[in-house]
Amino acid sequence: MAVENKRPLAKDALAFAQMRGEAADDVVAAVVDGQLKDWRDPIPEGASVRLVHLNDPEALQVLRHTAAHLLAQAALRLFPGTKLGTGPATQEGFYYDMAFETPLTQADLPALEAEMQHIVTERLPIDRREVSREEALELFAQQPFKCEIISGLPEGARITVYTQGGFTDLCAGPHVQHTGQVGALRLLSLAGAYWRGKAGNPMLTRVYGTAFADETALARHLEMTEEAKRRDHRVLGRELKLFTFVDEAPGMPIFLPNGMALRNTLESFWREEHRLAGYQEIRTPMMMNRSLWERSGHWDHYKDNMYFTDVEGVPYAVKPMNCPGAILAYQSESHSYRDLPLRYAELGLVHRFELSGTLHGLLRVRAFTQDDAHLFVTPDQMEAELARVLELVDHIYRVFGFPYRVELSTRPQDAMGSEELWERAEAALKQVLEERAVPYTLNPGEGAFYGPKIDFHIQDALGRFWQCGTVQLDFQMPEKFAIEYIGEDNQPHRPIVIHRAIFGSIERFIAILTEQYVGAFPLWLAPVQVKVLPIASAHEAYARHVAQYFVEHGLRAVADLRDGKIGQKIRQAELEKVPYMAVVGNKELDSQSVAVRKRGVGDVGPQPYRAFTEELLDEIRRQRQRREAK
């Protein structure tokens, strides 16, 4: 609702609701000019206002933030002397980092949760007030972590505290009206966390929980959480022998043979799709002179996330991104307008420093391979090439059955270049999205430092969204590196660069695929497509022969020659989620056949092994034909 009055309409969202004749009992916040605000904030004149009620999606963040305060209050009631760190809401719930005089264990969580439930039943009003730095330091004199936060605030910073019952916490909000609005909550687990995420700081106990407006929503979430555990790629990766991590290289995965088979299949598919789309593949150095990164702008914007070394006294940096290397490839020869658009694609290994506490399997790593591409285009080609990129992204996501949503991210605060160039770039991205009728949401201020971008968030089987693909329009780096092409007028001109990734990173995409399929990959992706199982040692030579025939005809096949009963071998292949098994015994040896078992189906009968080979190859071909038809 647009508010046109020149005077403030209401002192807060509750008064605003009453003015509109609406019930205010379940109001927990307000969206004012697109920003989520505490319900206690005054409604400014001329603002666009939407009240947030308990059942609205935005309410979860507010409710969970309040639940974190309930956790801290309960901890102080049960464990006096607890030192409080910070307790934010998260996408899945909330957590609070605390230092306990006696170490907290999982066995303590039921009592802590019960005390939180008691605070809910107390329906304690939650009040907010603004305090001076001196007042805040006095209020939290017994809380050293809070005092550290307060002392680090800039001069003149607004400091607010929230009080419920006898408990007061330092917080910017927002929070619900009273503790009774936290309808359902559950404490989930414990973990260690360095204070402020920095090694060397005190290790605190992080207590994780989640909260919802009602028990039904909580039960549904817990059910989804259990399903997510069943799909956890870290567990499946270990069970299926896809990858491993070692202490000697934290955050840097080691791909095992099965994982490499999956990865190579993905990369081969990627290469073929890009070849058909007119891309040329390049490879750029993993480490380059520091001066290059200073020139590109990465040094000023990204040096805290980079790795460095010296070579013969010269400073070098391990690349966190592939972009400057692609620019150097372009500069290796002169270009005319007839060469453009020039599409360079690269599967480039990059390294980025991530705090150890944030590492999470293949989803958050320090070394990963970006499926990058850099398109060098003339201004007249820009929109057509952007449209081609959108088509390729859509095609590849459809191959894997992923629906997706799109965000347009605009100029950030640390942007390079003039506002005029940014406006031009943003307008171009908007135009190509709107001309192709692609629904999108605006993400203000979240563009890359060198240009606006379109981000693609794919949705998995559990309804979770993962940001993978991105398309970034760059007018800045061509200026920084003074790259040129000779135009039709025989004069030098500046190309525009389109940065683009689709998988985002091979590692992250493998994690998402593993969880999507629960490790039961379709035939074309499966690390082992068929496993040959001899019934007895007398059948091993035939099993080797059949497996070798499969391999020679393009299938990923192995023979299980271990000692053991056939039932055990079948069970093992089922645990490994192999799509097909070929059992061989006396009858199969005599008839040059295999007894076929299909994953999820069981015994499907005997077939000549040569005919079975053609059947599998045909199934893979049909899958590819379906992919190409989409």
Give the residue numbers annotated as catalytic, written as ranges.
Answer: 323, 352, 370, 372, 374, 453, 499
Q: What angle do CA 316, 317, 321 make, to 5 degrees?
A: 145
Residue that the structure tokens 């070579």 belong to:
311
Residue that the structure tokens 């599998």 belong to:
616
**Please, are residues 131 and 160 in contact by the beta-carbon 8 Å criterion?**
yes
Cα–Cα distance, 613 to 156 (Å, whole number): 74
| Alpha-carbon separation of residue 340 from 101, 205, 323, 496 (angstroms) | 66, 56, 18, 10
Cα–Cα distance, 290 to 521 (Å, whole number): 42
Buried b (16+ CB within 10 A) or exposed e, 366-402: bbbbbbbbbbbbbeebbeebbbbbbebbbbbbebbeb
Cα–Cα distance, 401 to 397 (Å, whole number): 6
Q: Would you state the structure tokens that stand for residue 243, as one six-digit string? A: 């990858």
Cα–Cα distance, 523 to 521 (Å, whole number): 6
- For 154, phi then psi, to 5°, come to -65, 155
- For 355, phi then psi, to 5°, come to -60, 140
| Alpha-carbon separation of residue 65 from 179, 351, 561, 570 (angstroms) | 11, 34, 56, 50
- From the number of C-beta atoms within 10 Å of its C-beta (0-12, 13-18, 19+), residue 200 rates as exposed
Question: Can you say how many angstroms the Cα of residue 616 is from the centroid of all Cα atoms in its chain?
Answer: 34
Cα–Cα distance, 346 to 505 (Å, whole number): 11
- Give rounded-to-5 percent helix, strand, coil for the chain: 40, 30, 35
- List residues bridging with 212 in a β-sheet: 184
Cα–Cα distance, 289 to 310 (Å, whole number): 9
Question: Can you say how many angstroms the Cα of residue 76 is from the centroid of all Cα atoms in its chain?
Answer: 35
Identity at 480, one-letter amino acid code: K
Q: Would you state the structure tokens that stand for residue 407, as one six-digit string? A: 């965000």
CA terminus-to-terminus distance, the chain: 42
**Please, are residues 494 and 479 in contact by the beta-carbon 8 Å criterion?**
yes
Residues recorded for the chain: 630
DSSP states of 269-307:
HHHHHHHHTT-EE----SEEEHHHHHHHTHHHHHGGG-E
Of the candidates 94, 361, 79, which has an alpha carbon nearest to the alpha carbon of residue 245?
Answer: 361
434: three-class secondary structure by DSSP: helix
Q: Would you state the structure tokens that stand for residue 538, as one six-digit string? A: 């007398």
Q: Tell me whether the omega of the peptide bond preceding residue 341 falls within 30 degrees of 0, making it cis.
A: yes
User: CB neighbours of 569 closer than 8 A, spacing ≥ 6?
Assistant: 533, 560, 562
Cα–Cα distance, 194 to 611 (Å, whole number): 60
Cα–Cα distance, 283 to 463 (Å, whole number): 36
- Eight-state DSSP code of residue 321: -
